[in-house]
Amino acid sequence: MNYQRLSKEALIRRIEQLERLNLELFRENDSTLTFAWSGNLGQWYLDFITGEVSYNRLKVEILGYSQDDIPNPVPYSFFTSLIHPDDYLPVMKNMKDHMDNLTNVYEVEYRIKAKDGTYKWFYDRGKVTQRDKNNQAVLAAGIVFDITQKKLNEMRLIEEKKKLITESLTDPLTGILNRRAILEELSQRMNHHLYDFEHLSILMLDIDFFKKINDNYGHIVGDKVLIKVSEIISQLIRGFDTVGRYGGEEFLVILPNTNSENAYKAAERIRKKIEETEFDDIEHLTVSIGFTSYTDESIESLINKADQNLYEAKRTGRNKVVGNPQ
């Protein structure tokens, strides 16, 4: 059905009906339909018997279509065929629920394909205006808004929030977890390890003579060393292990489902790989590693044990792994 096919009297009645419906829909949801959207208003009128849609030009102009692009009469399927595949079923369910009188209004947000192939976001709200003697929907009318910019703004804010969260948890130099984040991860692992893992171990790694590197070669070279070491550790640990920069030249590695024997093996792999790696600008690099396993204690106690073993590794010559027990 198209407006051009209506008589003058019928057209006036339709316009008056739509105006009343618009006011009703605005009143029912005035917190959502803001004044700033009023310029985007498009209207539609659906005949369930014929399956035809009447509309004002703005609804299709928003999508870049001209009247020549639209079939006449306009089947409901013309618009539903443009709905994004991921949104199609929710839209149709929403409409069916309202047709079956399960909801007071038909209200949904969805993406719809424009003529240029891109998708726009629509907010669609309407209601059945006439039912037959069996309470079956006969006619419905509604209003539609282009909320694309609103959705883009929302998505941008979500991405910015994710970025801020990531930045707050990430060491800006190495890209791995920072001290706060790795300690939070360790705390969570400790709380859940009895249910999720049989064992839990940690490694505390420190770059040997790192101060001399900064003093002799400068902080830019020192930063490169920190980045390279973090990359080596990340490459050698498993997907469910976690590494973070604990502070300065110290790194903390969390090894779930790992007993002392396997923690020692993991630490040795890291130590040997770093010792064998050629670093730009410096001749040789080694690390000392202390490890320990969790035995139902506080996070401070667990880290202190690993730290004491790290101190012992340094005290007894560096470039070695010390654990308790081995």
In which band, very low, low, confident or very high, does the pLDDT at 56 lie, cut at 50, 70 and 90? Answer: confident
Residues 134 and 227 in one domain: no
Using DSSP's 3-state secondary structure scheme, residue 309 falls into helix
The residue among 92, 126, 153 that closes a domain is 153
Specify if 207 maps to a domain. yes
pLDDT confidence of 280, banded at 50, 70, 90?
confident
Q: What's the mean pLDDT in 87-104? A: 94
Residue 78 has pLDDT above 60, yes or no: yes
Q: Both 123 and 231 in a single domain?
A: no
> Residue 249: inside a domain, yes or no?
yes
pLDDT at 326: 46
pLDDT at 12: 54
- Provide the CATH number for the domain around residue 320: 3.30.70.270
Residues 191-217 have a mean pLDDT of 88
Q: Residue 182's pLDDT is what? A: 96
Q: What is the mean pLDDT of residues 10-31?
A: 53
Residue 36 above 60 pLDDT? Answer: no
Domain residues for the domain of 268 are 170-324
Residue 187 lies inside a defined structural domain of this protein: yes
User: Average pLDDT, whole number, for the chain?
Assistant: 86
The verdict on residue 251 lying in a domain is yes
**Phi, psi of 248, rounded to the nearest 5 degrees:** 55, -115
State whether 183 and 314 are in the same domain. Answer: yes
**Whose structure tokens read 């003579």?**
209
Percent of the chain surpassing pLDDT 90: 60
* pLDDT value of position 31: 42
Looking at the structure, tell me whether residues 181 and 136 fall in a common domain.
Answer: no
pLDDT at 7: 55
Please check whether residues 110 and 254 belong to one and the same domain: no
Which helix (H) or strand (E) covers residue 127, if one does?
Answer: strand 119-131
In a domain, 164, yes or no: no
On whether both 200 and 304 belong to a single domain, the answer is: yes
Q: Are residues 262 and 132 in the same domain?
A: no
161, part of any domain: no
Residue of 138 and 35 predicted with greater confidence: 138
pTM comes to 0.59
CATH at residue 80 = 3.30.450.20
Q: Calculate the alpha carbon distances from 81 to 47, 62, 64, 116, 180 in Å.
A: 17, 16, 16, 15, 50
Please say if 249 is a catalytic residue.
yes
Are residues 305 and 227 part of one domain?
Answer: yes
User: Cβ(43)–Cβ(143) under 8 Å?
Assistant: yes
Considering the domain architecture, whether residues 69 and 183 belong to the same structural domain is answered as no
Clarify whether residues 299 and 194 are in a common domain.
yes
Report yes or no: 206 and 250 within 8 Å, Cβ to Cβ: yes
Sign of CA dihedral 28, 32, 33, 35: positive
Task: Specify whether 35 is located in the same domain as 113.
Answer: yes
Structure confidence at residue 317 (pLDDT): 94
Which residue is catalytic, options 249, 268, 275, 283? 249
Is residue 94 situated within a structural domain?
A: yes
What is the C-alpha to C-alpha distance for residues 113 and 121, in angstroms, rounded to an integer? 9
Q: What is the pLDDT of residue 167?
A: 79
Domain count, the chain: 2
Determine the average pLDDT of the residues in 54-63.
80
pLDDT at site 17: 59
- Residue 219 is assigned to a structural domain of this protein: yes
For 131-160, write each residue's pLDDT tens digit.
999 999 999 988 888 889 889 998 998 888
Q: What is the pLDDT of residue 222?
A: 95
| Same domain, yes or no: 106 and 181 | no
